[in-house]
Structure 1
């Protein structure tokens, strides 16, 4: 049990690191030419295909794999004192894992497909790319309803089972509510969810690692 909690705690901290890395990459290094024409945009994507594919793998696929470990560890910890809530939360956690991993796979396969199409018809390729981007955003990029429900429910379960600190659990409730609110397409809500999840993952991970040593 303690070993699983330690692994889960490290996984939570690793999730926060992935979040921070994504913010840094897209904020400081990714300079997509939004005002350019289709040919120039695809030239940029082709030039940066490898790095973007790696970032997608880390940001979505690796994130989802590590998240699966965390979902298991938290469910194991909460199921004794709050069995119903923890089981419902774990269902949403598993669904979120699947959505995030699927997003990364669709993003990378879609990128390869549109780059091949862009050599023949850049305008049609741009239309396809926008459609693929919308799917990726809907599954796990811009819509965080499922992730928000997972955080919200497990925070309620932790409160009921007297696990973790109350401040952490109430903060988790806040994070979960913000995640659910991202159903409304406002970029600011997604950004608040992302930043608050960095804090929540880090705080949760530290608490799980500390408790595993007790």
Structure 2
């Protein structure tokens, strides 16, 4: 199996991790305002105290598993783009690996926040809430609360695919829209809505790029 086909499967894995995250974000985690600016930190820590393993699993899937699959996808996309746009392919590879590093870092910090909050909640709920809020802010800064790195990479890959005619129109269109959504998370007033556009667009784009890599022949 070639690196592009493996990368295609990695892209589909990335889409699956996003779907997993959204499914629980709008159900189990929704009453606490998780993923929004109005998150109830005390309710989250209470949830952690009762079920610490759930958020560790959630963080591990949406961040750590996603980042590992993303790194493979970045290398596979580079292999596809370098035949027609070698310079842009090199830049995209660097930015994509930076994004993967930020995502896995966010996941590790998120899991530490859960572990430490669960420990402190047994004796001092106020300290547990303060600690979780602080570490959660770091987690969001790395990649959970803004999608600038992801938006730049997906947008750049799609632009390179357009210039080199190495990606399909649907993949390119979805990528440019998703990239724009990621960049707009930089605007505080648009943070939640732009994040939703990026997240939903990224699911569709990961599926599109994954299928392109699995089934399409590499350009000569």
- State yes or no: 1:139 paired with 2:138: no
- In structure 2, the partner of 1:26 is 25
CA RMSD of aligned residues (A): 2.1
TM-superposed deviation, 1:181: 1.2
Determine which of 73, 80, 86 is the counterpart of 1:77: 80
- In structure 2, the partner of 1:103 is 106
2:27 partner SS: helix
Distance 1:206 1:33, change over 3 A: closer
Distance 1:18 1:96, change over 3 A: same
Provide the rounded CA distance (Å) in 1 between the counterparts of 2:212 and 2:88. 20
Determine which of 201, 205, 209 is the counterpart of 2:210: 205
Provide the rounded CA distance (Å) in 2 between the counterparts of 1:190 and 1:37. 20
- In structure 1, the partner of 2:58 is 55
Q: Do the aligned partners of 1:32 and 1:44 also contact (CA within 8 Å) in 2?
A: no
TM-superposed deviation, 1:213: 9.4
| TM-score after normalising by structure 1 | 0.91
Distance 1:71 1:41, change over 3 A: closer
Provide the rounded CA distance (Å) in 2 between the counterparts of 1:124 and 1:113. 10
Provide the rounded CA distance (Å) in 1 between the counterparts of 2:44 and 2:202. 31
- After TM superposition, the structure 1 stretch with the greater mean CA deviation from structure 2, 189-198 or 126-135, is 126-135
Q: Do the aligned partners of 1:9 and 1:207 also contact (CA within 8 Å) in 2?
A: yes
TM-superposed deviation, 1:33: 4.7
In the alignment, structure 2 segments of 5+ residues that lack a partner are 34-38
- In structure 1, the partner of 2:3 is 4
Structure 1 segments of 4+ aligned residues over 4 angstroms from their partners: 31-37
- In structure 2, the partner of 1:16 is 15
Provide the rounded CA distance (Å) in 2 between the counterparts of 1:37 and 1:152. 33
Provide the rounded CA distance (Å) in 2 between the counterparts of 1:84 and 1:41. 45
Distance 1:126 1:11, change over 3 A: same
Q: Do the aligned partners of 1:159 and 1:169 also contact (CA within 8 Å) in 2?
A: yes
- Which string of whole-angstrom CA distances, capped at 9 and with x for unpartnered residues, describes residues 19-64 of structure 1? 11111112123355569894x6533212211121011111100100
Provide the rounded CA distance (Å) in 1 between the counterparts of 2:160 and 2:69. 21
TM-superposed deviation, 1:182: 0.9
TM-superposed deviation, 1:6: 1.0
- In structure 1, the partner of 2:49 is 46
TM-superposed deviation, 1:68: 0.4
In the alignment, structure 1 segments of 5+ residues that lack a partner are none
Q: Do the aligned partners of 2:158 and 2:167 also contact (CA within 8 Å) in 1?
A: no
Q: Do the aligned partners of 1:60 and 1:104 also contact (CA within 8 Å) in 2?
A: yes
Provide the rounded CA distance (Å) in 2 between the counterparts of 1:153 and 1:36. 36
- In structure 1, the partner of 2:195 is 190
Provide the rounded CA distance (Å) in 2 between the counterparts of 1:169 and 1:43. 43
